[in-house]
Amino acid sequence: MGSPSPVAYRRYWRRRSPRPPRPLWRSLLDIAIFIAAALLVLLAIRIFNQVTVTPGNANIIDGDSFRLGKDEIRLNGIDAPEYRQVCRDENARDWNCGREAARVLRNLVAGKTVDCTGLDADRYGRLVSRCSVGPLILNAEMVRLGWAIAYTRHGTLYVREEAEARRDRRGIWRGTFDLPEDWRAAHRDVNGATD
């Protein structure tokens, strides 16, 4: 069987009419639907990725962590002195700023129901959370009172509260101190635990 003549090809292509161009409004509608769907997916991930912890009374561990029922919670966006950490006051005298930070957090939650929304889990299995007592957000209040720093390694939350505490020389800002992260690194034993 021979190959078709060039005339047959021409007739075939003539019979197929090109599609009319897609209207601009249709393309814009497709883009809008795609963007709306993507935003809904992101919103769902944001909402369902959060874990609500059963509210209750907190058992304080240190200035930025506590137990709430069976869950161990770490306050998101802040870093408080470790329980055994020592700072220097305005007269260059040593004082246990870590115990004092824990005491302040204990006073903030004493006899009150703590409500937390977990955002993530850290490498120790603690639920990294935003917690409140009524309208008071504990994360922000600990920084505002000067008993924790804004943990800028993970974001810029509470930077304004830290600036206020530093300016007014509240809490640990009344003297000098090692950043809690640096203190932990200096006091970590071979097993990874701090003093």
**pLDDT tens per residue, range 124-146:** 888 899 999 999 999 999 999 99
The one-letter amino acid code at 175 reads G
> Is residue 123 within 8 Å of residue 53, measured between CB atoms?
no
- For the entire predicted model, the pTM comes to 0.71
Average pLDDT over the chain, rounded to an integer: 84
Residues in contact with 58: Cβ distance below 8 Å, sequence separation at least 6, in sequence order: 66, 67, 68, 73, 109, 114
Considering only 23-32, 96-105, 173-182, which range has the smallest mean pLDDT? Answer: 23-32
> Is residue 58 within 8 Å of residue 114, measured between CB atoms?
yes
The one-letter amino acid code at 81 reads P
Dihedral sign from CA coordinates of 23, 28, 31, 37: negative
Residues in contact with 185: Cβ distance below 8 Å, sequence separation at least 6, in sequence order: none
Say whether pLDDT at 46 is over 90.
Answer: no
pLDDT confidence band for 190 (50 / 70 / 90): very low
What domains does the chain contain, in order, with CATH numbers?
Answer: 51-186 (2.40.50.90)
Q: What is the pLDDT of residue 10?
A: 57
pLDDT confidence band for 195 (50 / 70 / 90): very low
Say whether pLDDT at 59 is over 60.
Answer: yes
Say whether pLDDT at 191 is over 60.
Answer: no
Cα–Cα distance measured from residue 175 to residue 26, given in angstroms and rounded to the nearest whole number? 65
Cα–Cα distance measured from residue 174 to residue 12, given in angstroms and rounded to the nearest whole number? 88
